[in-house]
A and B are shown apart, each in its own frame.
Chain A
Amino acid sequence: MTNSELIGTDPGWIILVKGVLIFVICVVATLLSIWAERKIVARMQVRIGPNRAGKFGLLQSLADGVKLALKEDLIPKAADRIVFVIAPIISATACFMSFAVIPMTGKVRLFGHTTAMQLTDLPVGVLYILAIASIGVYGIVLAGWSSGSTYPLLGGLRSSAQVISYEVAMGLSLVAVFIYSGSMSTSSIIEAQNKWWFGVVLFPSFIIYVISMVGETNRAPFDLAEAEGELVGGFHTEYSSLKFALFFLAEYVNMVAVSSLATTLFLGGYHALPGLGFTESWLGGWFTMVWFLGKVSLFFFLFVWLRGTLPRLRYDQFMQFGWKVLIPVSLVWIMIVSTLRVMSQQGAPRVVVVAFTFGILLLVFSATSLVDKNKARIKAENRESLKNFPAPSFPVPSLPGKTLNGAEEING
């Protein structure tokens, strides 16, 4: 029995229970992931991290949450009051909604009822998540606009441009998955990965999705909408107390949401690792949730790792990367995937498929070598242009393209 059939027979109260469960999972996941992020980043920076509240500092985020709730709630005079209040609500509501279509377990028993831990199964489930994500961004953009101050406005502006550009790349990376699974529903995409995970078969799509999911959630190195070094706090500069807490919550739930989607689309969802399929029946099927959460935390660790490693991108570099690299690459990749798919459906001989693949590889290699050559040329030109400046008559650090021994030569 597939997930969609299992869910179809749910009575109303089971749906309600599942809704509450999903909400609880999200909130607890947020508390734990804030703690985990602080711990991991601390270890990466040779610190210990939170260790006071509770065992291993596990209750730190809870304490922070209580502190946030008790703080004074300010609304700036110049703010647009209605929009200022609505913005965090939009953000926090939208982030929970995408979990409705994420399958967290296979067949399980819940209060004596056979079902699956998935609220509903839409035939266009993945598009639904995209739609909800695009509504969620309204929260950030409106927060920036309604604050009535410059830095938040810039943050909101950046966020809106960022989302428009990276949503295109994200949507395109999903197309290859749709083509291969022949469906847009989350549960049938998982079914289609029985043999091979799409993360392996459609590796370029996987990479593009992972990059754009970081861009979509406003996380380092793409956290230009917050950019505390440039914009104070970006869109949430003027927010305090519970309204700020809602943005905080939304950011982390969003991270879990895009990680769950990545798990569902590319890593086989709640299924066990290949060869460990027997574990799926443990705990009456609930062990599949362990697999699901394990894969999600893998992505979460990636988020934290990126944050601990990479500096923030400059805005124009970020936009260029989105429009000039990610989108063209995913368009070309979709062409390749659909050609291969049509070939296999029309029963093309193996020779043709292999020849096509090799042809593509050859093209990619020649293109990259051309790019490398161009880079080398630009570098040489830069070196030339340096010689046009008269060298100063005092010691300076050696400039690129100038060795210590060659200094005299350039000076002359």
Chain B
Amino acid sequence: MHNLFFQSLQVGSTATPEAVQFWILAPLAVLAALGMLLVKKAVHSALLLAWVMITLAIFYIAQGALFLGIVQVVVYTGAVMMLFLFILMLVGVDSSDSLVENIKGQRPAAITAALGIVGLLLSLIGRATVNHPAVGLDAINASGNVQGLANELFTKYVWAFEVISALLITAALGAMVLAHSQKTKSRTSQRDLSIARFRGDSLAHAAGLPGSGVYALHNAVDVPGLGPDGLPVEASVSRVLEARGDMIATAPFELTEIQEEEK
């Protein structure tokens, strides 16, 4: 039974260097894949996933699919994972996953979909391998790996290729439409701000707002600077800090001794 199965798959033997490389990289890839599921921080997951992608690329290259291997790195590791990282960093460094389910019935639906995809993949791989005599990579790559691939892609599979590209473009357009928001008024530009400063009611802040406090004991954006009259200037602290109540009183920094001496 076993023999029959392998005969129908037409598996050849593996060359020694490739076997060595496989037994070194494959466990690492599996470990990284498991780690991706188990680590807590999202960025660590993303990194481990990038490592899995690179090992897969090395496997592709070792098996003669040079173009596929390199493109795997350029597209997935270079662009897709980088986009992931970008979003992870935007979301926040320490954000962890929320395990509360918001959508009802999401779990059974996800399991059904996953099973469906597994079935689809198994049937596809089965159709492509079982009872199909293997031609061998040398024959496929006879006119060069890239040329051979291009030949297949743009003659035999050109229809599938076009359909997939249409699908991808539709998805990209859909994402843009979903993320698009109509602005009610145009953004104020540097130019508008500058004009407003000079043509407004008061010219007090025409040259910009005063800087925050610089003292021997404290130098930060949260203490107001002192004006020429010795009084704290409220406008020198960011309005955000003021609203949050993060403004520090200037009293401890003011030169009280001199005032006392004068008295």
A, B in one complex: yes
Closest Cβ of chain B to A324, distance in Å, is 14
With A123-B66, A134-B73, A145-B93 already in contact, the answer to whether A389 and B195 are too (CB < 8 A) is: yes
8 residue pairs, one from A and one from B, having the closest CB atoms:
A134-B78, A389-B199, A131-B73, A160-B86, A131-B74, A127-B70, A124-B70, A157-B89
B77, B78, B89, B203, most chain A CB atoms within 10 A: B78
Q: Which residues of B contact A124 (CB under 8 A)?
A: 66-67, 70, 145-146
Kindly provide the distance from the CB of B104 to the nearest chain A CB, expressed in whole angstroms.
Answer: 35
> Is A267 an interface position by the 8 A CB rule?
no
- The answer to whether B82 touches A130 (Cβ under 8 A) is no
A385 closest partner in B (C-beta) = B195
Q: List 27 A-B contacts (CB under 8 A).
A: A83-B43, A83-B44, A122-B66, A123-B67, A123-B146, A124-B70, A124-B145, A130-B78, A131-B57, A131-B70, A133-B78, A134-B77, A134-B78, A138-B50, A141-B85, A142-B43, A142-B47, A145-B43, A157-B86, A164-B83, A167-B78, A171-B74, A386-B195, A389-B199, A392-B199, A392-B203, A396-B198
Asked if A176 is an interface residue, CB under 8 A from chain B, the answer is no
User: In the complex, A153→B85 CA distance in Å?
Assistant: 11
The yes or no answer to A148 lying at the interface (CB within 8 A) is: yes
Interface flag for A221 (CB, 8 Å): no
Number of A interface residues at 8 Å Cβ cutoff, please give it: 38
Interface residues of B (CB under 8 A from A): 41, 43-44, 47, 50, 54, 57, 66-67, 70-71, 73-74, 77-79, 82-83, 85-86, 89-90, 93, 144-146, 191, 195, 198-199, 203
A173 to chain B, nearest CB (A): 15
- B78-A123 in contact (CB<8A): no
Contact A148 B93 (CB under 8 A): yes
Residues of A with C-beta under 8 A to B203: 392, 394
Interface string of A94-133 (1 = CB under 8 A from B): 0000000000000000000000000000111001101101
Knowing A123-B144, A134-B73, A148-B93 are in contact, say whether A392-B78 is a contact too (CB < 8 A).
no
CB contact under 8 A between A127 and B195, given known A83-B43, A160-B82, A184-B146: no
B77 and A135 form a contact (CB under 8 A): yes
> In the bound complex, how far is the Cα of B73 from the Cα of A208, in angstroms?
23
- The total number of A-B Cβ pairs within 8 Å is 90
Determine the chain B residues whose CB is within 8 A of the CB of A382 once the complex forms.
191
**Chain B nearest CB, measured from A389 CB (Å):** 4
Knowing that A123-B67, A123-B144, A392-B198 are A-B contacts, what are 6 other residue pairs whose CB atoms are under 8 Å apart, sorted by A's residue number? Answer: A134-B78, A135-B73, A153-B89, A167-B78, A391-B199, A396-B198
Which label, helix, strand, loop or mixed, suits the secondary structure of the B interface?
A: helix
Cβ-defined partner of B71 (8 Å) among A122, A127, A163, A392: A127
Q: How far is the CB of B245 from the nearest CB of chain A, in Å?
A: 21
Q: Which residues of B contact A161 (CB under 8 A)?
A: 86
Note all chain A residues with C-beta closer than 8 A to B78.
130-131, 133-135, 137, 163, 167
Cα distance A167–B80 when bound, in Å? 12
- Report if A156 contacts B (CB, 8 A): yes
Interface of A with B (CB < 8 Å)?
Answer: 80, 83, 122-124, 127-128, 130-131, 133-135, 137-138, 141-142, 144-145, 148, 153, 156-157, 160-161, 163-164, 167, 171, 184, 382, 386, 389-392, 394, 396, 399
**Residue numbers in B under 8 Å from A160 (CB-CB):** 82-83, 85-86, 89
Cα–Cα, bound, A392→B50 (Å): 60
Task: Classify the interface of chain A: helix, strand, loop or mixed.
Answer: helix
- Tell me how far the C-beta of A357 lies from the nearest C-beta in chain B, rounded to whole angstroms: 27
Partner of B89, one of A80, A130, A156, A184: A156
Q: In the complex, A80 Cα to B39 Cα: how many Å?
A: 14
Establish whether residues B93 and A153, one from each chain, have CB atoms under 8 Å apart when the complex forms.
yes
Q: Which residue of A lies closest to B83 (CB)?
A: A164
> Nearest residue in B to A160 (C-beta to C-beta)?
B86
* Docked-complex contact A163 and B82, CB < 8 angstroms: yes
Taking CB as reference atom, which chain B residue is nearest A132? B73
A130 in contact with B74 (CB, 8 Å): yes
Complex interface: chain B residues within 8 A of A83 (CB): 43-44, 47
The minimal Cβ–Cβ distance linking B105 to chain A, given in whole angstroms, is: 35
Q: Which of A122, A131, A157, A399 contacts B90 (CB 8 A)?
A: A157
Q: For the complex, what is the distance from the CA of A32 to the CA of B35, rounded to whole Å?
A: 43
Report A15 CB to chain B, min CB distance, Å. Answer: 15
> Given A127-B71, A153-B93, A389-B199, are A167 and B79 also a contact pair (CB < 8 Å)?
yes
* Nearest CB on A from B53, distance (A): 10
- Say yes or no: B82 contacts A164, CB within 8 Å: yes
Q: How near does chain B come to A168, taking the closest CB pair, in angstroms? A: 8
| Contact partners of A171 in chain B: CB under 8 A | 74
> In the complex the two chains form, is B74's CB within 8 Å of A134's CB?
yes
- The CB with the most chain A CB atoms within 10 A, among B47, B85, B191, is that of B85
